[in-house]
């Protein structure tokens, strides 16, 4: 990569444009567990940690690494025609839905309670209103898993702002960082 030099009153435009990506890569690179990685993503997108999902592809199934409560709730076959995560994995394309309630999808994982009784709030009964879904790929474009970031609410307005193309770009960068994390590696079969 070319060196950037200080000129005039600050960094060049090119270095200023790269700085956010470098800090994002640094912050996510320090998050060495699925929980810490997803907490960093939640903070980055201004969502609650339970609105981030991280799945790893194992033997044709997407298995949840986060949230913790979904680890035992089941897995998603990549061949599923009703799963957005499966569609993301099979097409390897990032998807953005700011009107997610209009998208036909399996709702089974949305019914799992993600908080304990001591931390339950009204948002627990809300639905996913907005969603970004991106595949985690190796440099050879082999699918390792899927990351989804959502905004829940009782309607689109209460869920918060729409996701933007900049958010999509940041999620795609996050998937590149995730691809190099040890938690995305599948253990060999015993």
Q: Over 60: is that where the pLDDT of 128 sits? A: yes
The residue-averaged pLDDT of 39-57 equals: 95
- Map tokens 């444009």 to a residue: 17
Predicted confidence band of residue 82 (pLDDT cuts 50, 70, 90): confident
Averaged pLDDT of the chain: 82
Tens-place pLDDT, residues 135-165 = 999 999 999 999 999 999 999 999 999 999 9
- Say which residue, 21 or 11, is predicted with more confidence: 21
* CATH topology classification for 14-115+124-184: Beta-Lactamase (3.30.450)
- Among the residue ranges 22-26, 44-48, 88-92, the one predicted with the least confidence is 22-26
Cβ-count burial of 115 within 10 angstroms (0-12 exposed, 13-18 middle, 19+ buried)? middle
Tens-place pLDDT, residues 21-36 = 678 888 898 999 999 9
Predicted confidence band of residue 11 (pLDDT cuts 50, 70, 90): very low
pLDDT of residue 21: 65
pLDDT of residue 148: 97
CB 130 within 8 A of CB 178: no
Q: Where are the domains of the chain?
A: 14-115+124-184
pLDDT of residue 114: 52
| % the chain with pLDDT above 70 | 75
User: Which H helix or E strand runs over 29?
Assistant: helix 13-30
Q: How far apart are CA 61 and CA 86, in angstroms?
A: 9
The maximal CA–CA distance of the chain, rounded, in angstroms, is 60
CB 177 within 8 A of CB 183: no
- Among the residue ranges 69-78, 146-155, 173-182, the one predicted with the least confidence is 69-78
């Amino acid at each position: 990569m070319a060196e950037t030099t200080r000129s005039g009153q600050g960094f060049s435009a090119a270095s200023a444009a790269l700085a956010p990506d470098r800090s994002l890569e640094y912050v996510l690179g320090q998050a060495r567990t699925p929980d810490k990685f997803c907490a960093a993503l939640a903070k980055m997108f201004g969502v609650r940690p339970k609105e981030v999902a991280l799945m790893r592809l194992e033997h044709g199934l997407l298995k949840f690494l986060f949230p913790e409560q979904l680890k035992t709730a089941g897995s998603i076959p990549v061949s599923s025609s009703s799963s957005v995560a499966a569609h993301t994995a099979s097409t390897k394309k990032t998807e953005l839905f700011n009107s997610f309630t209009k998208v036909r999808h399996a709702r089974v994982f949305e019914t799992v309670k993600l908080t304990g009784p001591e931390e339950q709030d009204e948002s627990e009964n809300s639905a996913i209103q907005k969603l970004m879904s991106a595949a985690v790929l190796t440099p050879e474009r082999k699918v390792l898993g899927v990351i989804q970031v959502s905004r829940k609410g009782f309607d689109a307005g209460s869920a918060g702002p729409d996701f933007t193309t900049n958010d999509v770009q940041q999620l795609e960068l996050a998937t590149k960082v995730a691809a190099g994390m040890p938690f995305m590696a599948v253990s060999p079969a015993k």
